[in-house]
Chain A
């Protein structure tokens, strides 16, 4: 029924000689626009990364502002939030002043039109909310509230008095009898002016002030609100008619993309999937396809034409651009706006296309281009239909676009009242009288307005944010500077190596409190053992290493008793197949009927049990499942004969001895553990177990690519126990005594359990291990107790043992949306010796990487390789939390409650929506969005060398995506990175608060805490 051609010139486009060049340009433009798409891969392997990674080449403040306008998201917290923090004391008034001063430099003390210094003006605008609103609201506000009768409540009595008396003076001297000022007296009885009371004078002063402000603003050239971003035809149509054709297009596009990308939710896969997104779409939609929506009626003919004329995806995009009347100069903007309209799905197409190794069913390269092609095809069809239906616009689509922009009403200039309002409020705060403002010259008004308006909301929030960060930085650096290095008591009885994760900070602290003769170390949680790993009870290999690495080796967990294992596997498999059949069955017709009628009622048992008694139900389940759950005893097949190529095949798995020696040496040197080995060394990987949590992988170890790091810890321990490896290590100068034994383990950060692997120790060590296990258990209880203070649903009066039960129940609870709080408190990263931080209460806010500067060379080789992991990984975690918190709906994934797992790749909101990337609100709720403060124990010279030789570190530091400070290895003095150099830092306080134990310090408090010295 659409009466216009969908494309204008399909023939001459293809005939043009420069088509290839055009197509090439188009491809580049699409590729360029695609960088703005969220770079989040499949949700099963959640990798934290900087949400604005594409903007890292820009300074942080510029980047967040640019991104805010491109994505329509918030750059910082809201002004109200910052003001609350100011009231709470979390932002200090004097830091606002110093930051403003530094920000303005020489311009700070300039007088603004002779009234007030720029610094004071800005400071007032920060501390007192200066409000303005839409013209109508403002009019209502002035007429219906007492804004014109009483001064603002935050105006001091002095300023109010000054305003009134100066007004009196001015009125009596200059205004009375002056015909030009007649209107000021409207509503006042001028004759009795000498007997006016102070309330009348106050009202008069305010009205006069308002009048003068408006008159002043009117004398300035009116401002027009700047056009916001690029407008797609859909945006024009939406503004004109309120009809959103994106809802039409997205419904079809999401459904189709989900079917195309599906990794196994649907029982029937998409037909012709292997032909690619574009061709499978055309093939399906060229069918008449029943009574489809009316707007789709012209699609089948168009799809048939594209397919019959063999128009490829890129050519089709070119056609669409021409048809929509998008000129070549607009391509970039148009394409990025188009891609961003459905950014989650577009981003997922790009991710699955580029990292096919991360999904079971990869898609062909070029899929993103095909995605754009069908999107534009649908856009064309929808726009044509809507324009004809809604506006009666019939004709070539290219003209529809210009017609729409023509019909759009011109932008309304900002009303004078809207601009006068801030001046009116500031005048009250500073006690500027109407007389003073009245006497301002014509040149002064534009200056004044410019001064006020240039310190706009975003600028104010930027300053607030700097002050917000500064407070925490000062506290951290004070704590580090004042804390005297503390070493363990006596010879080391136990050494524990954990992930540098900030959730281990409290665990390590509690362990050290319990066992003062114990040393703890932190390092990236894959423990320098990158591998593809498959557990004995697992179906396939998973990469366990940071996302930037690709492992070269395969490791498998093997049962010790092959026969028993085979039997167990058989039972497991039979049960698994039965469970799968039953699950599929309940979704089918006949089997479903049989199952629900007969056994359906039995489902009420787990339903009620698991909801009402999650912990008990879990224990029962474990008891029941123990028989088949785990093979009784396993070991890792780690050793590969030299000269054999590594591969997943039997006999090709594992590492050669020299590979093992290299990896272990690297790890030990990284953390500075090269002598004084204790009799027992534990290596604890970590992960998180929770239910009903599609984002579960985001709680696991980031350094293991969003999987638990237990196998890495176990592998490292096994390597270090290997006699041949020890011999090789001895050759390289690391002498591990025969009395030392390494044990791998796993810390579940959700239920705080610690389990150890391969406990078949020499008899000499067994007793010690038992004692140590007791300590570990106690540390777990205490750690759970410290965590519980952050959970509103856990009473503050819990004992450590009760707290442990509480976190265990959380991890087994289907209804729990906050099984744990993840990295929600991260803020600091310390890279240095543990002595520097041992005994400091860091409130689970610090990533702690062990590094011994005394063992490093002059150019910091070891530090450099530690930092290449720390910057992107810890910085990425911190920035992802930052953005997901400051704009939970835009950068984050919103609330978890309506999330719906789709295609095994991500979550949608409810029935159908864009894929939600970023972190859900429940994960980031208690986070303080600050940039990570990285403190390294090294000299400026070493750091300058590292910065100069490492682009990622340099870019993140110079563009201020992280904050950087150094602590001198010798003196412990602190210096802070500022504009390319390290400036010495002097502590603001002379003493840190102290407490005998951690619990004494955090007891009874839910919020973030100051750092203190423990013990």
Chain B
């Protein structure tokens, strides 16, 4: 048994270590300005993905053979305050990986997609000026994604979560010589911060409740999806709501959906793997991971169900009017994502096996959408081929009959075309009042200091350009 636990620990560690090593190699070489050649970078990406995938598969096989449903690997207690037996003061912070039916599948998906798209990108990015930068960020993304997938504590999850967010935002801003990509990258980063803040708050609340961030503690020791939570309904609701906000930001659920089409600024492979497949599904994955919490809190489940359905309806509506292929695909993606979330919410009232439905939906959707995204530049050819097969032009009748306003109220069309006014709603009616309050405070502070100092020393106080920068960006 000792050997077997050693093998499992080794494989489990490899899963996280392989992409982390890639980050280290690519990152350090860039930092000391010894850029690796295209071929070496490509080999590194392939090796990390293959190694990681092999470890996942190996682990999975061994778990099946040895009939283990959950493997938990501790990577050390990093902070430990108070004696364990005195429950009151106990606080600890550990890095833990958990492998069960959920995380193994999601981890394998991450490696398959990251690996395939990594191969794709080594050819696609050939001779591009930012080749090295792309792969540094890409490896960071892969490491973050895998870490978040197999995280056993909320802190570990947060680490992966942050890496994914950071690398995504930077890759959206990849083409930095044009103004739009950095602007949209910053916008995404702002939304991600909101979601990160919610996740961090959830972590704090969790620690407050149980003294530790381990999912085992929160969700019970039963293997997923049969967890049994030990927290009260209210506590579950509070933590659950915070996690839901975090998930909504990451998965572009309402009301954060506006950023998803804007994320298509990056090169096609990163758009495909991030917004078609992995990054956007991370929110849904988080909800799946804490599904025992949903079982304990019917109120929370209702909210998740409603939010999912609303998002799905919204995205389906908006998707109908998108005129460019990448936006159309991103809203199609969001439609399914909304449904996946709704399925997770609905799981509360359905038998335990239903938890596998959103998981299956998620995996299938990720594969299909990635394929569609990387084929997006072929849209014109694909369409011509379809038209040839069918023998007539597509959608001729639709466009030719000009006046559909009788069938479809004009305002609905406009709502869809303007993407539900979500950008305006968030920027002009949420962010702006905040900024105005901060500006106002800033002015008062200035006046106060002037009054105290007794002279006009306002020159000494640096103007808060930062606020304006953000406003400019949004």
Cβ of B325 and Cβ of A900 under 8 Å apart?
yes
Q: From B384, B387, B416, give the contact of A268 (CB < 8 A).
A: B416
Cβ of B393 and Cβ of A540 under 8 Å apart?
yes
Kindly state whether residue B74 has any CB partner on chain A within 8 Å.
no
Cβ of A587 and Cβ of B390 under 8 Å apart?
no
- Nearest to A589 among chain B residues (CB) is B316
Cβ of A592 and Cβ of B424 under 8 Å apart?
no
Kindly state whether residue A995 has any CB partner on chain B within 8 Å.
no
Q: From B382, B393, B404, give the contact of A360 (CB < 8 A).
A: B393
Cβ of A596 and Cβ of B364 under 8 Å apart?
yes
B residues within 8 A CB of A292?
418, 421, 424
Cβ of B335 and Cβ of A910 under 8 Å apart?
no
Cβ of A607 and Cβ of B418 under 8 Å apart?
no
CA distance A1008 to B127 in the complex (A): 18
Kindly state whether residue A641 has any CB partner on chain B within 8 Å.
no
Complex interface residues of chain B between 261 and 282 (CB less than 8 A to chain A): 261-269
CA distance A294 to B388 in the complex (A): 46
Cβ of B181 and Cβ of A273 under 8 Å apart?
no
**Given that A44-B380, A287-B410, A596-B336 are known contacts, is A269 also in contact with B404, CB under 8 Å in the complex?**
yes
Q: From A272, A604, A896, A898, give the contact of B367 (CB < 8 A).
A: A604
The stretch from B8-16, B326-334, B448-456 touching chain A is B326-334
B residues within 8 A CB of A595?
368
A residues within 8 A CB of B175?
895, 897-898, 909-910
- Nearest to A588 among chain B residues (CB) is B316
**Given that A273-B399, A292-B421 are known contacts, is A903 also in contact with B361, CB under 8 Å in the complex?**
no
CA distance A608 to B324 in the complex (A): 26
CA distance A694 to B177 in the complex (A): 23
Cβ of A903 and Cβ of B324 under 8 Å apart?
yes
Shortest CB-to-CB span from A963 to chain B, Å, is: 30
Interface bits B118-137 vs A (CB < 8 Å: 1, else 0) = 01111111111000000000
Kindly state whether residue A1007 has any CB partner on chain B within 8 Å.
no
**Given that A268-B320, A580-B390 are known contacts, is A596 also in contact with B365, CB under 8 Å in the complex?**
yes
Shortest CB-to-CB span from A251 to chain B, Å, is: 9
Kindly state whether residue A600 has any CB partner on chain B within 8 Å.
yes
CA distance A577 to B325 in the complex (A): 20
Q: Chain B: interface secondary structure?
A: helix
Q: From A43, A263, A287, A538, give the contact of B414 (CB < 8 A).
A: A287
B residues within 8 A CB of A586?
332, 368-369, 372
Cβ of A898 and Cβ of B112 under 8 Å apart?
no
Kindly state whether residue A611 has any CB partner on chain B within 8 Å.
yes
Interface bin, chain B: 35 or more
- Nearest to B366 among chain A residues (CB) is A600
CA distance A256 to B374 in the complex (A): 26
Cβ of A900 and Cβ of B418 under 8 Å apart?
no
How many residue pairs link A and B with beta carbons under 8 A? The number is 321
Kindly state whether residue B68 has any CB partner on chain A within 8 Å.
no
Complex interface residues of chain B between 399 and 432 (CB less than 8 A to chain A): 399-400, 402-405, 408, 410-411, 413-418, 420-421, 423-425, 427-429, 432
Most-contacted residue by chain B among A266, A814, A896 (CB, 10 A): A266
Q: From B325, B391, B414, give the contact of A569 (CB < 8 A).
A: B391
Complex interface residues of chain A between 206 and 255 (CB less than 8 A to chain B): 242-244, 247, 255
Shortest CB-to-CB span from B280 to chain A, Å, is: 13
CA distance A259 to B419 in the complex (A): 13
Kindly state whether residue B232 has any CB partner on chain A within 8 Å.
no
A residues within 8 A CB of B119?
611-612, 815
Cβ of B390 and Cβ of A607 under 8 Å apart?
no
Kindly state whether residue B208 has any CB partner on chain A within 8 Å.
no
Kindly state whether residue A284 has any CB partner on chain B within 8 Å.
yes
Shortest CB-to-CB span from A243 to chain B, Å, is: 7
Kindly state whether residue A913 has any CB partner on chain B within 8 Å.
yes
Kindly state whether residue B184 has any CB partner on chain A within 8 Å.
yes
CA distance A268 to B383 in the complex (A): 17
Cβ of B380 and Cβ of A264 under 8 Å apart?
no
Kindly state whether residue B198 has any CB partner on chain A within 8 Å.
no
Cβ of A608 and Cβ of B368 under 8 Å apart?
no
Kindly state whether residue A925 has any CB partner on chain B within 8 Å.
yes
B residues within 8 A CB of A908?
324
Shortest CB-to-CB span from B261 to chain A, Å, is: 5
Kindly state whether residue B313 has any CB partner on chain A within 8 Å.
yes
Interface bits A112-137 vs B (CB < 8 Å: 1, else 0) = 00000000000000000000000000
A residues within 8 A CB of B127?
792, 925
Shortest CB-to-CB span from A45 to chain B, Å, is: 11
Cβ of B380 and Cβ of A273 under 8 Å apart?
no
**Given that A258-B323, A539-B391, A897-B125 are known contacts, is A598 also in contact with B262, CB under 8 Å in the complex?**
no
Cβ of B328 and Cβ of A593 under 8 Å apart?
no
Q: From A266, A587, A607, give the contact of B371 (CB < 8 A).
A: A607
Cβ of A607 and Cβ of B367 under 8 Å apart?
yes
B residues within 8 A CB of A598?
364
Shortest CB-to-CB span from B37 to chain A, Å, is: 11
Shortest CB-to-CB span from A99 to chain B, Å, is: 33
Kindly state whether residue B394 has any CB partner on chain A within 8 Å.
yes
Complex interface residues of chain A between 548 and 582 (CB less than 8 A to chain B): 569, 572-573, 575-577, 579-580
CA distance A817 to B120 in the complex (A): 11
CA distance A792 to B131 in the complex (A): 15
CA distance A612 to B42 in the complex (A): 13
Cβ of A269 and Cβ of B267 under 8 Å apart?
no
Shortest CB-to-CB span from B403 to chain A, Å, is: 6
CA distance A899 to B325 in the complex (A): 10
Cβ of A592 and Cβ of B324 under 8 Å apart?
no
Most-contacted residue by chain A among B387, B405, B417 (CB, 10 A): B417
Kindly state whether residue A410 has any CB partner on chain B within 8 Å.
no
Cβ of B368 and Cβ of A600 under 8 Å apart?
yes
**Given that A43-B380, A897-B124 are known contacts, is A611 also in contact with B321, CB under 8 Å in the complex?**
no
Kindly state whether residue A786 has any CB partner on chain B within 8 Å.
no
Cβ of B180 and Cβ of A912 under 8 Å apart?
yes
Q: From A270, A575, A904, give the contact of B383 (CB < 8 A).
A: A904
Shortest CB-to-CB span from A695 to chain B, Å, is: 9
Kindly state whether residue B251 has any CB partner on chain A within 8 Å.
no
Kindly state whether residue B395 has any CB partner on chain A within 8 Å.
yes
Q: From A266, A293, A900, give the contact of B264 (CB < 8 A).
A: A900
**Given that A259-B323, A592-B335, A901-B325 are known contacts, is A294 also in contact with B367, CB under 8 Å in the complex?**
no
A residues within 8 A CB of B391?
539, 569, 573, 576
Cβ of B335 and Cβ of A589 under 8 Å apart?
yes
- Nearest to A270 among chain B residues (CB) is B413
Cβ of B421 and Cβ of A815 under 8 Å apart?
no
B residues within 8 A CB of A575?
389
- Nearest to B323 among chain A residues (CB) is A258
Shortest CB-to-CB span from A242 to chain B, Å, is: 7
A residues within 8 A CB of B424?
291-294
A residues within 8 A CB of B226?
none
A residues within 8 A CB of B266?
898, 910
Cβ of A816 and Cβ of B123 under 8 Å apart?
yes
- Nearest to B316 among chain A residues (CB) is A589
CA distance A270 to B416 in the complex (A): 11
B residues within 8 A CB of A691?
378, 381
A residues within 8 A CB of B398?
264, 267-269
Kindly state whether residue B350 has any CB partner on chain A within 8 Å.
no
Kindly state whether residue B470 has any CB partner on chain A within 8 Å.
no
Shortest CB-to-CB span from B381 to chain A, Å, is: 7
Cβ of A603 and Cβ of B368 under 8 Å apart?
yes
Kindly state whether residue A624 has any CB partner on chain B within 8 Å.
no
Complex interface residues of chain A between 261 and 281 (CB less than 8 A to chain B): 262-275
**Given that A258-B323, A275-B402, A589-B316 are known contacts, is A266 also in contact with B328, CB under 8 Å in the complex?**
yes
Given contacts A587-B335, A817-B124, A925-B127, 20 further A-B pairs with CB under 8 A are A269-B398, A273-B399, A287-B411, A289-B411, A289-B421, A291-B425, A293-B423, A293-B424, A360-B393, A576-B391, A583-B386, A586-B369, A593-B339, A608-B112, A692-B377, A813-B123, A897-B128, A898-B181, A904-B380, A911-B262
The 3 closest A-B pairs by CB, nearest first: A600-B364, A576-B389, A274-B402
- A to B CB contacts below 8 Å, 12 in the list: A263-B399, A271-B413, A274-B403, A290-B421, A573-B391, A604-B367, A793-B123, A815-B121, A815-B124, A900-B325, A900-B326, A910-B265
